[in-house]
Amino acid sequence: MTIVEKVVPVIFRQVDQNIEILVFRHPIAGIQIVKGTVEANENLENAAIRELYEESGISSTSIHSYLGIHYPSESGPNWHVFVCHTTETLKDHWTHFCNDDGGLEFNFLWHPLAEEPTDEWHLLFKELLEFIKSRY
């Protein structure tokens, strides 16, 4: 039996004295953080970089650090969380067409780490944000 692994590539930026985390508005499932499945024979770091590119369009990415394993409340795979850096200059907002689930448009934005997630956030990603804040 193959164990399914999930990766969460996280990008932060600093604006004045505030740290912000990159999130996106899913057209059906609320505000989320990039997350995806590790493919067969793929290491976790490469999967994180690939998922970040597929879901956001961000390339020129490297792994900065490993925050650890998040255990979501719903049954299923655990999530390996990585802090990533990119050499790209990222905008305040952008839209990326992702091929997941037949093709979806994801609207990217930055969420101040010090702020609580709104009701628009998907529950599992509210949990993930708390995990990230506790480790970052």
Q: State the pLDDT at residue 57.
A: 96
Q: What is the pLDDT of residues 40-81, one digit of tens each?
A: 999 999 999 999 999 999 999 999 999 999 999 998 999 999
59-97 per-residue burial string, b: 16 or more CB within 10 A, e: under 16: eebeeeeebeebebeeeeeebbbbbbebeeeeeeeeebe
1 inside domain: no
Of 29, 10, 5, nearest in space to 124 by CA? 29
Domain span at 106: 6-135
What total of structural domains would you count in the chain?
1
39 inside domain: yes
Q: State the pLDDT at residue 1.
A: 57
CATH classification of the domain holding 131 = 3.90.79.10
**Integer-rounded Cα radius of gyration of the chain:** 14
Q: What is the pLDDT of residues 1-38, one digit of tens each?
A: 567 899 999 999 999 999 999 999 999 999 999 999 99
Question: What DSSP element (H or E) covers 47?
Answer: helix 44-56
- List the single range of 59-68, 101-110, 119-128 with lowest mean pLDDT: 101-110
